[in-house]
Amino acid sequence: MVVDWVLVLEWVVKSILLVFILLTGFAYTTFYERKLAALIQLRIGPNRAGPGGWLQPAADGVKLIFKEEFTPAEAYKFVFVLAPIITVVPAIVIMAVVPWGDMVNLFGRMVPLYLADINVAVLYILSVASVSVYGIVLAGWASNNKYAMLGGLRSSAQMLSYELALGLAFIGPILIAGSMSLMDIVEAQRNVWFIVYQPLGAIIFYIAMLAEVNRAPFDMPEAEQELTAGYHTEYSGMKFSLFFMGEYIKMAAVSGIFASLFLGGFRGPFVDQLPGLGPLYFFLKIVASLGVMIWIRATMPRLRYDRLMAFGWKVLLPLALLNVLVTAVVIVALGL
Amino acid sequence: MNGELILFFVLAIVAISAALGMLFSRNAVYSALFLILNFATVAVFFLLLGAPFIAMAQVTVYAGAIMVLFLFVIMLLGAEQIQHQARRGWQRPLAMLLTLVLLAESAYLIFTRSDVLTVLQPAAADYGSPQSIGMLLFSEYLLPFEVTSILLLAAMVGAIVLVKEDKKSGGQK
């Protein structure tokens, strides 16, 4: 077997670039959230570090690195250290199948602007998302603290419940595009975004996605008033910031998936002529989706836990099933 | 081919150690974690065999859904620490006997009918793709597929009926 070293190099460079963008993007997502939430709530937000507060994420990072790392004496040490890692890794690897552009000509070589275009991309996303539950559950258990434990259990029940609606919301775009590859799904949205054909599916997906990443109003696992800080009560320093990082990278990742499924991904005006515009459009769509998430967090109160479960099972899941049924019937009836 | 063989042996070692770890771990949560590792390794085996659909389904269904529920129950009941329980005398010899029977059966099959195992048709190009699996499920294997669906539906209804509160006796028991 002849190994194409240039191809290997290309993959390595793209992977490192993606990881680097996600890791720095995470810091500025927190800044974006604090600034935007401040704007919505008529506050000023961080404005001390650097001009306009733009160095705030760096200052936060330095602070977290120098904080004391504390491990409770009664904790299950190995799992306690493992849990933050299990939280961050799925958040990063899930972006591997999301395309952020078409082919571009770089140094006389056609380079595709995606890591992997696999025919089971949607299933890959679902399986990685389902594995990401473990980080939170194990953190709750390994801390050996009843608040952490309750937070972990709550989140596992919540994420399992909303995963079903999330999985069903995937089916609409798959049916229309006739493929599970995200590249094909984006390609099928060349003329019309799927949010036009699938408004209900898009709304269900967005709600379920908020619950998957434990964002307000579904931030039940870390409800401060009842569970101190939920699953990461006992975590401090860099271990805590890994959970923080996991949450914000997941926000960006699910926004990217949402943009690919319903907002046309990297498609936009003049992308065919200038493929370099693809990543820019994709980035703008992610920023818009993140903005809506922050807007929701800044305005909505948290749901009560039983209401949250009832909403997931009795409203979201039947609606998602109905959406699949209607989509399938319409596609067969129109003979697409 | 050589790289694939090395990968196979590394994965096999991981899978077997995970299975052993699951059996010998004194803590039920660690056992569950070893089992998840085992499932993940099996998923990679499926990838090696060129069946990405089954690999993803394996991770989603077993590692992602079923094992989360297992962990959930283990943690909720606080059953993670196995106490030094009373010996169930008859179980160990029985388990050994059954294992020996199983081993003998597989050895018999492998040595006497090895010809059956080797004549595998080379897989088609789109073998294991979502489309081909869907077509097979809804044409050749429609009846088993529907029977499985009904079975799962029955289990689901059963679970709901079992936990349903009895309205007549006023709910709380």
ipTM above 0.90, yes or no: no
In a domain, B151, yes or no: yes
pTM score of the predicted model: 0.81
Binary contact (A123, B72; C-beta < 8 A): no
Residues B142 and B76 grouped into a single domain = no
Other Cβ atoms closer than 10 A to B10: 12
Which secondary-structure segment (H or E) carries A21?
helix A5-40
In a domain, B158, yes or no: yes
| Chain B residues whose beta carbon lies within 8 Å of the beta carbon of residue A163 | 64-65
How is residue A213 written in tokens?
């990443």
In a domain, B114, yes or no: no
B6 in reach of chain A (CB within 8 A): no
Q: What is the pLDDT of residue B88?
A: 65
Q: What is the pLDDT of residue B101?
A: 95
Say what angle helices A237-262 and A199-212 make with each other, to 10 degrees. Answer: 170
Residues B3 and B78 grouped into a single domain = yes
* B121: pLDDT strictly greater than 70: no
Closest B-chain CA to A118: B52
Q: What is the pLDDT of residue B171?
A: 46
Peptide bond before residue A217 is cis, with ω within 30 degrees of 0: yes
Task: Tell me the average pLDDT across B146-171.
Answer: 82
Binary contact (A134, B36; C-beta < 8 A): yes
In a domain, B105, yes or no: no
For B25-38, write each residue's pLDDT tens digit. Answer: 878 888 888 898 89
What is the count of structural domains for chain B? 2
In a domain, B36, yes or no: yes
- Which one has a higher pLDDT value, B116 or A87? A87
Residues B59 and B133 grouped into a single domain = no
For A184-216, write each residue's pLDDT tens digit. Answer: 888 888 878 888 788 888 899 998 888 888 777
pLDDT < 70 regions, chain A:
1-3, 105-109, 220-229, 336
Total residue length of chain A: 336
Last residue of a domain, one of B48, B82, B116: B82
The mean pLDDT value of chain B amounts to 80
* pLDDT tier, B98 (very low <50, low <70, confident <90, very high otherwise): very high
Binary contact (B56, A127; C-beta < 8 A): yes
In a domain, B18, yes or no: yes
In a domain, B106, yes or no: no
Q: What is the pLDDT of residue A226?
A: 65
* pLDDT tier, B127 (very low <50, low <70, confident <90, very high otherwise): low
**A242-256, B80-94, B126-140: range with lowest mean pLDDT:** B80-94
In a domain, B73, yes or no: yes
Residues B2 and B78 grouped into a single domain = yes
For residue A292, what are the contacts with CB-CB under 8 A and spacing of at least 6? A206
| Chain B residues whose beta carbon lies within 8 Å of the beta carbon of residue A131 | 59, 63-64
Domain that holds residue B137: 126-165
Q: Measured between CA atoms, how close is A137 to chain B, in angstroms? A: 8
Binary contact (B68, A134; C-beta < 8 A): yes
Binary contact (A127, B60; C-beta < 8 A): yes
Q: What is the pLDDT of residue B103?
A: 92
Q: Measured between CA atoms, how close is B52 to chain A, in angstroms? A: 7
Which secondary-structure segment (H or E) carries B76?
helix B67-77
Task: Tell me the average pLDDT across B51-80.
Answer: 80
Binary contact (B29, A180; C-beta < 8 A): no
- Which one has a higher pLDDT value, A67 or B144? B144
Binary contact (B57, A126; C-beta < 8 A): no
CATH classification of the domain holding B7: 1.20.120.1200
